[in-house]
Chain A
Amino acid sequence: MAKATQLNTMGRKLLLEKADVEGIRFYDVYRREGGYRSVEKALKTMSPEEIVEEVKKSGLRGRGGAGFPAGMKWSFIAKPEGVPRHLVCNADESEPGTFKDRYLMEFIPHLLIEGLIVASYALGSHATYIYIRGEYAWIPEILEQAIAEAKANGFLGKNILGTGFDCEIYVQRGAGAYICGEETALIESLEGKRGNPRIKPPFPAIKGAWGRPTVVNNVETLAAVVPIINEGGDEYAKIGVGKSTGTKLISACGNINKPGVYEIDMTISVEEFIFSDEYCGGIANGKRLKACIPGGSSVPILPANLLLKTAKGETRYMNYESLSDGGFATGSMMGSGGFIVLDEDQCVVRNTYSLARFYRHESCGQCSPCREGTGWMEKLLLRLEKGEGKISDIDLLWDIQSKIEGNTICPLGDAASWPVAAAIRHFRDEFEWHVTHAAEAQKRNYGLAHYADPIHVPA
């Protein structure tokens, strides 16, 4: 089954197709390889509404993590008379384990610029912003060079390609805060304020940057607009399966032989993705697979058995639906595509602690459950990790995460809760072992245990 799919669709790449072409970073090569065709097509032959329609037809879902249909998001933008609208590209890729946008911007910056021009035209944005993560210190230069090249060739600035459409793209660097990847915090930060998420509603589509209608999209989402316009929404929708259309960039990392950014078309199985030489190339150093966080640090961690097969005993595939099959009880999420693999030598308690530490550090501190709860969870997890915990700490952790989830202003509270909840849900034995065998837990890890055993599927 897996092999058959491989034959049919293997190698179908839309974003990284030309990534290896020498000099693709620069305008001349990019243009020679067919770049900026979508801008010509869109601006000269299509109306903004037609572009939005095409993106809707493509079924493109937001690649930043939430998976919200991009075309739908675009159609929500308010169009009051005389008020400028803005497109903002969210390049604040800070989710641990995720580095796909960085790859795109670093190696094929013109793809993003091209997508941005088309999207700006569709949304009527004459001033478009790329809000880039502060830690990506060397990338703004690459982007600005690409913008300058595009401008010199008439794809940006006044009266683009003689169509009368004006558009400028500005690169704005963040100051290094995970929370600024949340779209309303990003807008606040873009406005020069403290990056606190706003209380919604109103949503950015109605009142965004400077109170104007704004659409915030992930880098990969905007880059995907290029093939959608070039090939048509219907063609794009044919790739993939069900509501997971097109291709998705996965940044694979952890204990695998070949970490890196891979473009998949969402029809391959998780097993194939981890073990085939085409992708991750198996677990490093001949170890066995213990667990995986398939979509960036916020999504639920899964033990090996539930990762490769769903609770129903079916093969799990690398797409939105299959990864979330079983809900949070037995499934996870596609998230942002940060695929983190843990081998049998990894300690889930320690891993969960380090994630909790991250979320405590990155909480903006605006609303009480997240500000206080993340710190509490971190302290409890550290205690458990150091072998100083109690069995009741595990239940307490469960209770705290359930009190944070859903009660906060922005999804950071949820993002902090989910990893803790999933770790306890699936690896409770390991947490208990850290209490019952406290001294031993300081010397060795729990190991694979039964986490890869086949799951009993009731007939």
Chain B
Amino acid sequence: MSDIPLFKVTIDNISIEVPAGTTVLNAARMIGGEVAPPAMCYYSKLEGSGGKCRTCLVEVSKGSEKDPRPMPKLVASCRTTVMDGMEVKNITSAKVVDARASIVEFLLLNHPLDCPICDQAGECHLQDLSYEHGKEGTRYEFQRRTFKKHDLGKYIQLHMTRCILCYRCVFTADQLTKKRAHGILDRGDHSEIATFIEKNLDSDFIGNVIDVCPVGALTDKTFRFKNRVWFLKPMDAHRDCPTCSGKVTLWNRGDEVFRVTARKDQWGEVEDWICNDCRFEKKKTSDWVIEGPRLIDRHSVIAQGHYAGTVGMHKPTETFSAVHHGRQPKLLMDIHSVSEVNQADIDLSIIAGPAHSNNFNSNKD
């Protein structure tokens, strides 16, 4: 290891020495904080990933000590390796900030923005990215693109409209499973993730595509519409699993295990891949040895609900009649007349506390 020379790289005026071969993005992550460019497609644990989404574009204002010329174009920091003496501008470059805002606009152009009904909401990288780097409105005045639905089997739910084509799930299937059954079909703005012939995704480790998906395109069917992630309590847990490390995060509410995911680090990347058995089949607390609460970044919406009950939950007062001079709200449509998601005798708006799985009709598929 000591044979690898150290290169000095300066990112946003902060210098750091990193081993040769490190990418600009990873060097920036070592510095941390806002210096680290956002990455939607790069995944350090997936070989060959990165370079596609263009959100991590940075400006190289000095190539290296030997060749100080700046690079003519913005470069993808996840696929550019550092040179000795390189100087990089991320948030200190107006060009980068501008380009990043436009990339966010491009990524959201055809995105349905259905966050209110998306299971990924609250842990969606695209959501974070648009809050941090996007603009308020859209300039797109055309119909957003839609796709023919594909069924990927009983474990994984695909919402192609939300997909940003990061290719992470393709790399995951290639590198973790014996045989990849899905891929990108077609090209350009109509390219889509699908199995060429309707096929179930069910190989041992395929569930990990859910964890690597930065958006809500691939979600856990066994958790679908069951709960909001910020109402759940993430706990580190493990079990003696013959297939994988068995180290997971359980997402609980009371004693009920709502879902099981791999443990994710501060960059949203999994620490250990987990197998389908752990993820989809072990939904009882007794299946697991609980280690303790999972540390969640306090800025994350997932951290917000954790004091509920201990600090005291304050029920907000009804504001409608107050702002409408005493007029009472009018019922325009009874949701039960169009939807059978929840049971007919339950109105989600008036139950005490967040919805629970028994408030919904059981999954009919």
- Which A residues fall within an 8 A CB radius of B? 177, 179, 194, 199, 360-369, 371-376, 379, 396, 403, 406-409
Contact = CB atoms under 8 A, between A and B. Distances in A.
Interface string B186-228: 1111110000000000000000000000000000000000000
B280 to A, nearest CB: 30
Q: Which 8 A-B pairs have the closest CB atoms?
A: A199-B51, A365-B191, A403-B102, A372-B106, A363-B188, A375-B189, A365-B188, A372-B109
B188 A362 contact: yes
B86 to A, nearest CB: 14
Contacts of A396: 139
Interface in B51-98: 51-55, 57, 73-74, 76, 79
A179 B52 CA distance: 15
Given A360-B189, A363-B189, A375-B189, A369 B73 contact: no
Contacts, number: 87
A365 B106 contact: no
23 contacts: A194-B184, A361-B188, A362-B188, A364-B188, A365-B165, A365-B190, A367-B51, A367-B52, A367-B54, A368-B54, A368-B164, A368-B165, A371-B188, A371-B189, A372-B107, A372-B110, A375-B188, A375-B189, A379-B142, A403-B99, A406-B74, A407-B57, A409-B76
Nearest to B103: A368
B320 interface: no
B106 A373 contact: yes
Interface residues of B, number: 34
A179 B57 CA distance: 23
A367 B164 CA distance: 9
Contact of A403 (B73, B106, B164, B187): B106
Given A194-B184, A367-B53, A369-B103, A199 B189 contact: no
B140 interface: yes
Given A369-B54, A379-B142, A408-B54, A177 B106 contact: no
Interface of B: 50-55, 57, 73-74, 76, 79, 99, 102-103, 105-107, 109-110, 139-140, 142, 145, 164-165, 167, 183-184, 186-191
Nearest to B107: A368
A366 B165 contact: yes
A409 B187 contact: no
B25 to A, nearest CB: 13
Interface centre among B74, B76, B105, B107 (most CB of A within 10 A): B105
Contacts of B54: 367-369, 407-408
Given A199-B51, A360-B189, A406 B139 contact: no
Given A368-B103, A369-B103, A407-B74, A376 B53 contact: no
Nearest to A409: B51
B23 to A, nearest CB: 11
A368 B74 contact: no
Contacts of A372: 106-107, 109-110, 189
Nearest to B192: A365
Contacts of A367: 51-54
A363 B52 CA distance: 13
Nearest to B100: A407
B52 A366 contact: yes
Nearest to A390: B141
B251 to A, nearest CB: 30
Contacts of B184: 194, 365
A363 B188 CA distance: 5
Contacts of B55: 368
B187 A177 contact: yes
A361 B188 CA distance: 6
Contacts of A408: 54
Contacts of B52: 366-368, 409
B22 to A, nearest CB: 15
